[in-house]
Structure 1
Amino acid sequence: MAASIEEKKIQDELSAIIIWAERVRVAVDEAESFKADCQEVGKQVDRLLQMLRNVARFAGSSQSLYDRPIRRVISEVSRHIERALTLVRKCKRRSVLRRVVTIVTAADFRKLLNLLEASVGDMRWLLSIFDTENGGASGGIVLSLPPIASNDPILSWVWSYIAAIHMGQLSDRIEAANELASLAKDNDRNKKIIVEEGGVPPILRLLKETSSWEAQIAAAAALYNLANEQERVRVIVNELGVPIIVNVLSESLMKVQIQVASLVARMAEHDNVAQDDFARENVIRPLVTILSFETFVDDQRTNLGKPSIHSLVQINKELEKNTMVGSKSSRPYMHLYSEGSSSRSGQNRKERENEKPEVKIKLKIACAEALWMLARGSVPNSRRITETKGLLCLAKLVEKEQGELQSNCLMTIMEITAAAERNADLRRAAFKTNSPAAKAVVDQLLRVIKDLDPTLQIPAIKSIGSLARTFPARETRVLGPLVDQLSNKNPEVATEAAIALQKFSSPENFLCMEHSKAIIEFNGVPPLMKLLRGNDGTQFHGLVLLCYLALHAGNSEALEQARVLTTLEGADRTVVSQHPELKDLVSKAISHLNLYHPGVHSQRLAYGPL
């Protein structure tokens, strides 16, 4: 209905211009002066009149009309025809006084004829992109330059490509989508033009072209290149692109899924509305499904003591139950450990099994990145990932894989644990002490922390820190690796270790005293003292941790032997001057240490009451 209304508006505009053009013909016949010039104007208007009627016939018969170039061109044509009518009417017989007041010159006609010639060129180009027999949208892509776009050739190319996607044959639509993807990749101005000229809706329709994986890849690539900014992502969302994208991800071939999963990641990265909409459309389940493909099969075959067949069956049963309850669609997604999709499972299973290993890895990398972006800053999405047994899958991939896939999985875990730190319900549900998935995650995080790669160590350390309130007092094994990293030569890693340990020893942690004593027992004080000699950020976080240890384990001999009291007094005069927010914490730590070491430096009693 909306389309017919738009076409009716176009028809109305064309009808109005045609009426003006016919009036010009009448005025030409009535002209008494500059007859030759008026006749030349009449010839140009006749050409325009014929072309306008052709466009009107096409607009009335087209099922899928791309009206952006039509509106721009006929707007220019309308102005020029109105100008022609005004000038030609001045050449009609009038009184001497009127002729003196209204002066017409040959220059006026030359300028008008140039404008009408430009309009003829614009109309000729407009008809060429809609011509079904001699090229155009249904017979090839037209890349000639109309006068209206002489100062901006990109505009005419974008019009031609979008028209081809609207109305062309499949091969032309694929070519046009690839060209738009290339233009969008060049710069943001091209992206803006494509979106403003209505390129998103036809590209989304092409993405639904399930008969051609080439078409789907071309469309997904074009959308991916457009979606690097919130406003443009929001256009895709508002055009109802999210359900289309999720459906394609769930049912397409692997080579298509790679591009679509990357699109999900980019849209979720740049727009929180897209992030929420993807979650509502249940995109997390197919992403986890793809990630889990072949992830657990090797464990069964090699019999390395990993999850038993019984446990996998139980996980499958739980997932099936969650799918039936949580899915918005009556079409269920495939099970987490199955190898095919719902509607074309046989075909997709065979395709997956026969696909090259590098393609499978690329797909998993893209899916892991999508989960990372979906989980980032989102408690509900992080909860959804844990409910699909995504944690166990991520832990397995961190254990077995390397490179970008391992890194993306770690970043996803980091975001999930950060969400759990903010939300007690998620923390209790997903990271229970007896949870196999939580245990697997922690085991892999501790293994990675001992690695030598800072890009992997940092998210792993952050993740353990975020889970600080989930560990019981007896779970001291997580503290040792963190304490060891206080001595890391990379200051960023050492600082992150100090921040993570703060979360164990912070007063907000119910077990802060037990954890503080354990940190000291792991010989954490000497490397922490060295950390205070680092840069400003390192000093700050090292000082906070040292104060927590002093407050919660002040009677420790290790603190006395390391002369922590002297260090804190010095910090009270230096570091605190740069960070006034630490003044109260440092003063409390000094006072608390004086309680346990009153005879060491009696002059220190001035810092606080005994």
Structure 2
Amino acid sequence: MAMATEEEKSLKDELFHTIVLADRVIKWAQEAESFKSECADLAKQVQRLSQMLRSCVRLSTPTTSNQSIYERPIRRVAADVSKNLDRALTLVRKCKHSGLLRHVFSISTTADFRKVFSLLESSIGDMRWLLTILDSDETNLSLPPIASNDPILAWVWAFISVIHVGEIKARIDAANELASLARDNNRNKKMIVEEGGILPLLKLLKEGTSAEAQIAAAHALINLATDEETVRIIVSVFGVPIIVGVLGECSMKVLIVVATLVARIAELDSVAQEEFVRENVTRPLISLLSMDMVLDIPKHQPPKTSIHSIVQMNKQMIGNSAHKYNHRSGSNSDGSSHSGQHKKEREGETPEAKIKVQIACSEALWKLSKGSLACGRKITETKGLLCLAKIIEREKGDLQFNCLMTVMEITAVAESNSELRHGAFKTNSPAAKAVLDQLLRVIQEESDAMLRVPAIRSVGSLAKTFPAKERRIVSPLVALLGNKDVDVATEAAIALEKFVSPTNFNRVEHSKSIIECDGVPPLMRLLKVNDRAQLKGLVLLCHLALNSGDSKALEQARALKAIEGAARSVIPQYPELKDLFAEAVCRLTLYQAGAHPNIQSFAP
């Protein structure tokens, strides 16, 4: 959105200045002492311009307090008209000269008049086009002279103007046209943004006049929001609260597009991402994600867990959600609201339509959760984890994948934030247990690497939360070390490394569990696959050596020889691993007869 500078005049002042300038040109033309015929013709052109400028003042004055006027083309045309009038004024002022100077001046004046006539005619054409788009709610796709070298500019002006003041059908068509232009290329996107297209689209989205209008506006915003700069503009004009408000009140078919818009914006800019979280966008997203879902207590929960507390939590969430949306949309004094109407519509929607909404909402939660502690807290403090677990259990395809990715992002944040980790994923939490059960099920039962990888990463991120000798968690990961899919096997090694790293209090016990689960042989085979697998496998192997250097399994697998051999090629590329390799070799050497460390050979 173009911001007004201190020097910028109000639109009325700018038009008034241009009108005064036109009157001065007419006065000087009437007082000309030479080229009287040309000056008379010029005065007629300027008179037409003056009348058009006055009409423009009338049409650009809002008739109601809530009506907006699209000023961008008016200012551009008025500035161009003013420049041409200045040139005309300079010319007619010279026509008062007489005598010798008049003869000298006449040599170039004829050509100058032709140029000025042409410029004024162009200004008349620009004003005629401008008055057309101001005085009509239909899109004018004619080409004004000012945009002769760039027809897209004229179309953008016309479409944005219609969105400001047109009838609803014309506004829908204009929004769709802007969406199409933005989809074509980046230059069009930049032009629409620079010419002030964001704000009227947000206004059209907010008004809720029709579902079709909201969809058209949301599609246009999605096509425009392809870079951080544009997203920041949306944030700066308070677009985030508008989008969140619409998400809580719109119909099902609008929800899909608006949730997609949330995902797009959140993915592109962390500032917008956090702004969405502050506006509590997670509440309507989780509410939509869990529609028609009974979030009961997981079956594995021990009898001692308080059922009453879970029931009360769900009741409180439902009550708070209803209060929130009634407050937002309840503009009627009798308490009725659009949200109640839309709720009835949602209940009658087909399962296919509901799945589409859930897919869009789950993608938005995924993008919002990435690297966001605030979003992780919002989701885990509500019924969000139970909802995600239930969907991962029951659904397939994009919906299941998006929920797995959401869990992966939340656990990634929890890995580096002990408060979130201990609060949301404590061992006696029903929601955490439900999520963990589904992660383990995916790891053990799914064959698709796209599903297994986020599940593996999620478990790895939670490594610090699991107690010692936790075979139920470690064993499935160990089993994947020998998986035929190298990416899956490598991710398993990365996750297991988090169980045995120095930052894990139970690293010694977890190391023994990995070895007892027969994890060394497949790990040794992983070292021979590719560079990435070798690197991650070696790091895991070194930590196993540090924590369980006396293991017979490591000795039988010739782990010492493997580390020494790999160190010479790995350390030059990753010098930060030199100390780890050296310590692992020393530890293994202590327990293996006849072994002699050669630490110096590790130096690059």
**So what's the TM-score if we normalise by structure 2?**
0.91
Against the structure 1 CA distance between its residues 110 and 409, is the aligned structure 2 distance closer, same or farther, given a 3 Å change threshold? Answer: same
Question: Residue type matched to 1:594 in 2?
Answer: T
Q: For the Cα contact (< 8 Å) 1:236–1:242, is it kept in 2?
A: yes
Separation of aligned partners in 1, 2:293 and 2:320: 25
Please report how far the alpha carbon of residue 223 of structure 1 lies from its aligned counterpart in structure 2 after TM superposition: 1.3
User: Within the alignment, does 1:119 sit opposite 2:123 as a pair?
Assistant: yes
Against the structure 1 CA distance between its residues 425 and 603, is the aligned structure 2 distance closer, same or farther, given a 3 Å change threshold? Answer: closer
Q: Aligned with 2:142: secondary structure?
A: coil
Could you tell me which residue of structure 1 aligns to residue 477 of structure 2? 482
Could you tell me which residue of structure 1 aligns to residue 486 of structure 2? 491
Q: Aligned with 1:434: secondary structure?
A: coil
1:189-243 Cα deviation digits (max 9, x unpaired): 1111111111111111111222311111111111111111111111111111111
From 349, 354, 359, the equivalent of 2:353 is 359
User: Within the alignment, does 1:389 sit opposite 2:394 as a pair?
Assistant: no
Separation of aligned partners in 2, 1:78 and 1:232: 32
Question: Residue type matched to 2:387 in 1?
Answer: C
Against the structure 1 CA distance between its residues 446 and 332, is the aligned structure 2 distance closer, same or farther, given a 3 Å change threshold? Answer: farther
Could you tell me which residue of structure 1 aligns to residue 15 of structure 2? 14
Separation of aligned partners in 1, 2:467 and 2:233: 48
Separation of aligned partners in 2, 1:553 and 1:342: 67
Separation of aligned partners in 2, 1:559 and 1:42: 100
Superposition pairs of residues 116-265 of structure 1, within 5 angstroms: 116-131=120-135, 136=136, 138=137, 140-265=138-263
Could you tell me which residue of structure 1 aligns to residue 313 of structure 2? 318
Separation of aligned partners in 1, 2:506 and 2:30: 99
Separation of aligned partners in 2, 1:346 and 1:444: 34
Could you tell me which residue of structure 2 aligns to residue 80 of structure 1? 84
From 524, 539, 553, the equivalent of 1:529 is 524
Separation of aligned partners in 1, 2:336 and 2:473: 42
1:478-519 Cα deviation digits (max 9, x unpaired): 111111211122222211111100000111100000000110
Q: For the Cα contact (< 8 Å) 1:161–1:179, is it kept in 2?
A: yes
The count of aligned residue pairs is 588
Separation of aligned partners in 1, 2:336 and 2:523: 55
Separation of aligned partners in 1, 2:283 and 2:97: 80
Between the aligned residues of both structures, percent identity stands at 59
1:292-336 Cα deviation digits (max 9, x unpaired): 112338x89xx989999x9887445325556889999695699xx
Superposition pairs of residues 378-457 of structure 1, within 5 angstroms: 378-450=372-444, 451-457=446-452
Q: Aligned with 2:208: secondary structure?
A: coil
Could you tell me which residue of structure 1 aligns to residue 45 of structure 2? 44
Question: Residue type matched to 2:90 in 1?
Answer: T
Superposition pairs of residues 497-512 of structure 1, within 5 angstroms: 497-512=492-507
Q: For the Cα contact (< 8 Å) 2:34–2:98, is it kept in 1?
A: no
Separation of aligned partners in 1, 2:406 and 2:255: 19
Q: For the Cα contact (< 8 Å) 2:60–2:134, is it kept in 1?
A: no
Separation of aligned partners in 2, 1:369 and 1:362: 11
Separation of aligned partners in 2, 1:491 and 1:467: 23
Please report how far the alpha carbon of residue 176 of structure 1 lies from its aligned counterpart in structure 2 after TM superposition: 1.1
**So what's the TM-score if we normalise by structure 1?**
0.91
Could you tell me which residue of structure 1 aligns to residue 332 of structure 2? none
Q: Aligned with 2:572: secondary structure?
A: helix
Q: For the Cα contact (< 8 Å) 2:469–2:510, is it kept in 1?
A: no
More displaced 10-residue stretch of structure 1: 362-371 or 98-107: 98-107
Alignment gaps of 5+ in structure 1: 335-340
Q: For the Cα contact (< 8 Å) 2:156–2:192, is it kept in 1?
A: yes
Separation of aligned partners in 2, 1:544 and 1:606: 17
User: Within the alignment, does 1:108 sit opposite 2:112 as a pair?
Assistant: yes
Q: For the Cα contact (< 8 Å) 1:251–1:342, is it kept in 2?
A: no
Q: CA RMSD in A?
A: 2.9
Question: Residue type matched to 2:522 in 1?
Answer: P
Separation of aligned partners in 1, 2:153 and 2:323: 41
Separation of aligned partners in 2, 1:219 and 1:250: 17
More displaced 10-residue stretch of structure 1: 396-405 or 488-497: 488-497
From 343, 357, 365, the equivalent of 1:371 is 365
1:539-576 Cα deviation digits (max 9, x unpaired): 11111100111111111111111111221222233333
Separation of aligned partners in 2, 1:304 and 1:584: 47
1:262-310 Cα deviation digits (max 9, x unpaired): 111111111111111111111101100100112338x89xx989999x9
Alignment gaps of 5+ in structure 2: 330-334
Q: For the Cα contact (< 8 Å) 1:285–1:333, is it kept in 2?
A: no
From 586, 589, 598, the equivalent of 1:594 is 589
User: Within the alignment, does 1:520 sit opposite 2:524 as a pair?
Assistant: no
Please report how far the alpha carbon of residue 355 of structure 1 lies from its aligned counterpart in structure 2 after TM superposition: 0.9
Separation of aligned partners in 2, 1:602 and 1:229: 58
More displaced 10-residue stretch of structure 1: 505-514 or 81-90: 81-90
Question: Residue type matched to 2:19 in 1?
Answer: I
More displaced 10-residue stretch of structure 1: 91-100 or 400-409: 91-100
